Amino acid sequence: MIGGMDRSLLWRIGFALSLIAAMALLGITSSVVIAEKVRGAATAINHAGTLRYSTYDASTAMLRPPGADSEAQRREIERAVDRFEKHYSGHHLSRMVPASASHPARLAYEEIGGIWEADVRPMLLSAIGRTLDAGAYAQMREVIDDFVQRVDRMVFLLEQRTEAQVQVLRIAQGTGLLLTLLIIFFTVWFLRRDVVHPLQDLLAGAQAMRTGDFSRRIRHTGDDELGQLGGAFNLMAQDLSRSYDELEQRVQDKTRALEHSNRALELMYRSLSHLHDGTLSRANYTETLREMEKLLGFGSGSLCLLESDGRKGFRLADSGHEPGFIGPLCQRHSCADCVGMTHGKLHLGAKSKEAGGRILSIPLFDGAEVLALLQMEVPNGVAPEPWQWQLVEAIARHLGIAIASQRRAIQSRRLALLEERTAIARELHDSLAQALSYLKIQVTRVHAASTSKDTAEVDAALRELRDGLNAAYRQLRELLTTFRIGIDAAGLSSALEETVAGITARGLQYVELDNKLADGELGVNEEVHVLHIIREALCNVQRHAHATRARVTLDWTPDQRVCVAIVDNGIGLPGETGKADHYGLSIMLERAAQLNGDLDIGAAPEGGTQVRLLFRPVALTEPKGDVRPIAEEVS
């Protein structure tokens, strides 16, 4: 067996490659090990150098001239001490110090720490608040210079250790490279003799066979793999002529299959381009039917759109080329007959009366509902092949998806319009309608007071009536402004920015907006209520708080509730703010109640007033998997 392995090209090549891989692995392993040892050495040496800087920085701070700020000196010395201790005990420096207790670098590191704790640090801290004379400073400076020399020695030892490790890496990589080059040289010599020359002979034989010369034979027919390949090549040359005829037949079969596949792909591409271009119309469906008629070789096609019960429908499109084309496909007065004839699946029905062909009926589904019916005329003598059946079913599925998507788009537009009207009605009821009700009550008071000739009561009612009219007019203007701003496709963020810009333009110096909510996280009604509460709060800040700054924050709380906060730096809350008849406050409270939230108005921690709204969005209160239609939410 050993002799057989020696004759195997794979074994010999594998052995040579294994040697090369072993050399490479050895070099990589040594590089990784040593690189891991020296990783962070530069940073550690920099940190060790920082120890010197921190020590000198602290010694410089000890020189406090008479009359200097002792507090500044204390901060500077403490900062230098903290920086020294941070770098000394940091992992960058400590991990590069050898773990061996007898190593010179470890001894130097521990010696520096001991001197720092015993002498240098107490000396530096004791100098705080003192004015040192020249003698005392010289004595302290001598201690510091000696300490810095010890730090320099530790840095030198660390550098020496790192350089020694790098030198070991150079030796290991140089040795591995030399051995690898020797192995590569012998491998190339072996490959040229036992692989390249036999392969050239095989290549010459293959080129001769490509030109039709089957008499060429391979000379190398030894016991190795290429020799066995040469013998097999010689046998193949004998059988190749017999295989030519079979190959030509297979090529013809594959060509026909590819033609069918190309026609199917072309039809699918064209139909999808018609059905998914974003502007579906009768012309799109008609063009799809004509493409099917052309590429499938079928007759006229018709697409009928059905109602949900399947009893009535209308012709959506057909592939007739005349304006009044009806064709032989729709001969029944009830659409239910056509749907029932298919039994819910593709069906090749009876012959049509006019053209003499058969009718292929394909129902189009949206889930379990039959949306439409696709019918195509199959000429006499034409039997649809399996690929045609599959292609028709695939196009029918895309037609069903396109029709269903179009229906959903129409329904979404209707629901969006309903939602917008409902929101407008709610806003009118929440603001202007209540104000008008209040004015109606005041008119009744005026009428009653005028009857009783109570002048004071009439004047009071007229003042309240005037205030109510002003408030109603203000609410109307703000409501119109809100609807002009709107929460359009740009979302709540854009509406908030416009609101803040409007408030700033009307007198408030600076309003900071911090919105951490993404567009779409709140429902439409929730966005409207939040926007109105923020507008009302900012208007109150502008009119009553005498503030120069305000901050609006929208964020999530840890318990998954939305927190809206409006904080100003104004004069704070007056005593009557909490009265139940305060109109702006009542509106904000009503909107908070509609959000099932809590509205709190109080003093801000840093002065001024804070309006805080907490509520849980409807999307988080609904059960998972319970998807409600938009119309239900609007109602």
Task: Report the SS3 class of residue 556.
Answer: strand
pLDDT in tens, 371-430: 788 888 887 777 777 777 888 888 888 888 888 887 787 787 777 677 667 767 776 776
Backbone conformation region of residue 447, classed left if phi is above 0, alpha if psi is from -120 to 50, else beta: alpha
Lowest mean pLDDT, pick from 141-150, 350-359, 410-419, 610-619: 350-359
Q: What is the mean pLDDT of residues 560-568?
A: 94
- Which residues does 613 contact at the CB level (< 8 Å), separation at least 6? 530, 533, 562, 563, 564, 565, 592, 595, 597, 598, 599, 600
Q: How confident is the model at residue 64 (pLDDT cuts 50, 70, 90)?
A: low
Which tens digits make up the pLDDT trace of 247-285? 878 888 888 878 878 877 877 777 777 776 656 677 778
Mean pLDDT value of segment 137-147: 74
Which pLDDT band holds residue 562 (cuts at 50, 70, 90)? very high
The pLDDT tens digits of the residues spanning 37-57 come to: 666 566 666 666 666 666 766
Please give the pLDDT value at position 375: 81
DSSP bridge partners of 518: none
- Average pLDDT of 214-222? 77
Give the whole-angstrom CA distance, residue 523 versus residue 519. 10
Task: Using only the alpha carbons of the chain, give its radius of gyration.
Answer: 45
Q: What percent of the chain has pLDDT over 90?
A: 6
Name which of 534, 444, 440 is nearest 482 in CA terms. Answer: 534
For the chain, what are the domain ranges?
Answer: 2-177, 276-384, 491-635
Residue 151 pLDDT: 76
* pLDDT (0 to 100) of residue 462: 80
Least confident of 123-132, 460-469, 497-506, 511-520: 123-132
CA of 541: how far to CAs of 43, 511, 548, 611, in Å?
A: 54, 11, 9, 10
For residues 198-207, give the mean pLDDT.
84
pLDDT score, position 80: 73
**Token pair for residue 372?**
């439409």
Of residues 464 and 341, more confidence is placed in: 464
Q: Is 551 helix (H, G, I), strand (E, B) or coil?
A: strand
Quick check: 624 pLDDT over 50? no
Question: Average per-residue pLDDT in the chain?
Answer: 74
Given a cut of 80, whether residue 630 has pLDDT beyond it is no
With a CB cutoff of 8 Å and minimum separation 6, the contacts of 57 are 76, 80, 83
Confidence of residue 6 (pLDDT cuts 50, 70, 90): low
Residue 467: alpha-carbon gap to chain centroid: 52
Domain formed by 276-384, architecture = 2-Layer Sandwich (3.30)
The structure tokens listed for 329 are 């496909």
Nearest to 365 by CA among 377, 357, 373: 373
Note the pLDDT of residue 327.
47
Q: Amino acid identity of 192?
A: R
Across residues 452-476, what is the average pLDDT?
A: 76
Q: Residue 64: in which H helix or E strand, if any?
A: none
- Superfamily name and number for 491-635: Histidine kinase-like ATPase, C-terminal domain (3.30.565.10)
- The contacts of residue 528 (CB under 8 Å, 6+ apart) are 423, 427, 482, 487
Task: Return the pLDDT at 427.
Answer: 67
Give tens-digit pLDDT for 570-592: 888 765 544 333 556 777 888 89
**From the candidate CATH numbers 3.30.2030, 1.10.3470, 1.20.1420, 3.40.50, the one assigned to the domain spanning 2-177:** 1.20.1420
CA-CA distance, 635 to 629, in Å (whole number)?
A: 10
553 pLDDT above the threshold of 90: yes
Q: What is the mean pLDDT of residues 281-308?
A: 78
- Predicted confidence (pLDDT) per residue in 164-174, tens digit: 777 777 787 78
The residue-averaged pLDDT of 491-500 equals 84
Which is it for the CA torsion 554, 525, 615, 434, positive or negative?
Answer: positive
